[in-house]
Structure 1
């Protein structure tokens, strides 16, 4: 059981874990249910950092938290967002649905980022920075809920959406235990309910973003890929932060 947690930490963050963990048979599938807990660990670290810099100028504190956020995750999900943005725009054009689908998937595999991907990254990071700059007026636990809900969304995605790359990074997650993943989602929901009204709002925002992005992926690709999962993570995080910040 612990190997699944370590694998989840090693994949989703830059925190070092023993390399032997990834050689254990079936460990990737067992890691999926631990994703929300990894989000909670990440969120707790961000909360601690936000507390430590609370007396700094708001923009400097926000920038520090954001840089730490990106660093500890290795920009893994930001890469998925950029690739998805490039592919979604670049994949359009002439041809039937299958040609557009194949073109979109091909662009996602290109390691280079085009102008659309760069713009998407800049805009998302700008929104995160602006929300974090409002931290003095926000409860710090929002920094806990955003990473948890974003990673819970990944669990939900693999439970109810086809994975379309047979040899992709997420292919090993398809066989994850539905019971364990459901328990993880229920625990996430309970955490948000305990957090009060803002927690319930954060769940509602997550559900809306999840539904919209899942529908878009099904229409364009017939399912999800590792890149679209990365994009989902970032979209949920920024949507939760911005919504709670805007609600004041």
Structure 2
């Protein structure tokens, strides 16, 4: 199973990954099983960066953490967020128009506003969490957000006939995916304790609301909406932690 893990790592991060041959579509589908693990790795690297910067001014640390976060993921999901925001506003309730706008590589005003809001919220919550030294929240944000992707493809039709998501949906190991989606939050709680249970509830609520919006507008999901799901979930988890999780958790 090492090759599906490397495919997931290559797709979700900008870390140098040695893939000596083009992966099969089955391998791409099985890579979904490792999305939570890659999320855990991203969170761990961000925590390590925060620890290295522990003596720097909090605002500087927050800015560098956010920069490192974007650099590590290549801004992949931010692109999906911007495309989805433009499509939802410009589509004006029409399914085909929404899907057409989503394919446009240009970023419109709605996309720019969505990017600015998400980055601003991440910045201020990172600042707050650094002051509180509440590092475990980063593990929840990055891991739970990527756990939702196999859940999304398990429960939601993929509406593009061609695209990066086709092999993921077609060759996704459904039974194993259910185990991974179920086990990941439990493992996080075992590591950190029940004080962070609110973050799991936030993740579930975010998924239900965004999936409802996807089904209402485009009757399924696309790669862009999956990316938007990751970004919005990460942001909501950080916000919930900054507002609700005790400082000494």
Q: Distance in 2 between matches of 1:69 and 1:229?
A: 18
Q: CA deviation at 1:169?
A: 1.1
The structure 1 residue matched to 2:160, chosen from 159, 165, 171, is: 165
> What does residue 176 of structure 1 align with?
172
Q: Distance in 2 between matches of 1:74 and 1:204?
A: 28
Q: Distance in 2 between matches of 1:200 and 1:214?
A: 21
TM-score by length of 2: 0.94
Q: Distance in 1 between matches of 2:212 and 2:232?
A: 14
Contact map agreement 2:140 2:188 (CA 8 A) in 1: yes
Q: Distance in 2 between matches of 1:198 and 1:77?
A: 28
> What does residue 199 of structure 1 align with?
196
> What does residue 97 of structure 1 align with?
none
Contact map agreement 2:83 2:101 (CA 8 A) in 1: yes
> What does residue 124 of structure 1 align with?
118
List aligned pairs for 1:1-248, cutoff 5 A: 1-92=1-92, 100-134=94-128, 135-174=130-169, 175-194=171-190, 195-247=192-244, 248=246
Any unmatched runs of 5+ in structure 1?
94-99
How many residue pairs are counted as aligned between the two chains?
A: 242
SS in 1 for 2:62: helix
Runs of 4+ in 1 over 4 A off after TM superposition: none
Q: CA deviation at 1:38?
A: 0.3
Q: In the TM superposition, what whole-angstrom CA distance separates every residue of 1:175-226 from its partner, at most 9, and x where no partner exists?
A: 2101221221123121232222342111100000000000000000000000
Contact map agreement 1:29 1:172 (CA 8 A) in 2: yes
Any unmatched runs of 5+ in structure 2?
none
Contact map agreement 1:9 1:38 (CA 8 A) in 2: yes
CA RMSD of aligned residues (A): 1.2
Q: CA deviation at 1:25?
A: 4.3
SS in 1 for 2:20: helix
TM-score by length of 1: 0.94
Q: Distance in 2 between matches of 1:91 and 1:238?
A: 24
